[in-house]
Amino acid sequence: MKYIKTAVVIMALFVSSAAADESSAGNADETSTCGTEIDFNSKYLWHGSAYSGGAVLEPSVWVSLKDFTATLWSNYEISENLNEADAVIEYSHETGKFLLEPSLSYYTYYHQPDSTPIIEFSAKISRPLSDKFSLYTSQNFYFLNGDVGDSYFGGLGIDFETGITNSIKLSVSPFAGWGSIIYNRENFGCSKWAFDLISADISLEYAFYGGLYLKPHFTYALIPDKTLIGDDRSNTSAGIAVGAEF
């Protein structure tokens, strides 16, 4: 728990400092955007594990003001019903050659008697390697009813993004992640630090007039440690997202 408290305090201090810097720099015009998206997926994957028995719909809405974004996201398993709804607040700030993106999320679950709400503190730090490549690390801390201790999942990834035409963008993102003792005990029943995930995300985004976009995408995920699940297990999910930003 002390690790999470420290992380939240660091995030609060960083955001307060950055906001103060912006305020002292002058009264720049505030910019705001909002958007909505419906994402259809053949399977709900989270950190490489499947959390649905079949296809899902994942609608979301968001609003951004300057460097802050608030998002509401939900997951509907088509064969059943709503089973998850999340609220996320994210802050994005460039400093030097780094992009810092801390966020705080609240996960709630429905029709799942054994699941209780989870709070996540996440910090993503990215650094461009070229105009198309960037290296990033994602550090995620979870706590349940205020006391999970060192439940942690983190990793390293590479983002590749290039424009095929003026309206079509290709993105590829390989990632490798690991989990703490408590994280693996809660998710796999195995109390050990482990190398949990190797994954790759591929998407094509088609931009249309008026902020509309269409994004087919594919995810491949492998859980390489046999002690977590008993065998090398891979999961795949294909989907298509339709959205608009205003």
Q: Residue 191 sits in a domain of what CATH number?
A: 2.40.160.40
In tens, the pLDDT along 33-89 reads 999 999 999 999 999 999 888 899 999 999 999 999 999 999 999 877 889 999 999
The answer to the question of residue 29 being in a domain is no
The answer to the question of residue 24 being in a domain is no
In tens, the pLDDT along 118-153 reads 999 999 999 999 999 999 999 999 986 555 556 899
The answer to the question of residue 28 being in a domain is no
The answer to the question of residue 23 being in a domain is no
Count the domains in the chain: 1
The answer to the question of residue 25 being in a domain is no
Q: Please give the angle made by the CA atoms of 106, 57 and 234, to the nearest 5 degrees.
A: 85
Q: What is the pTM of this model?
A: 0.85
The answer to the question of residue 7 being in a domain is yes
Owning domain of residue 64: 2-17+34-245
The answer to the question of residue 22 being in a domain is no
- pLDDT confidence tier of residue 116, bands split at 50, 70 and 90: confident
The answer to the question of residue 171 being in a domain is yes
Q: What's the alpha-carbon Rg for the chain, to the nearest Å?
A: 19
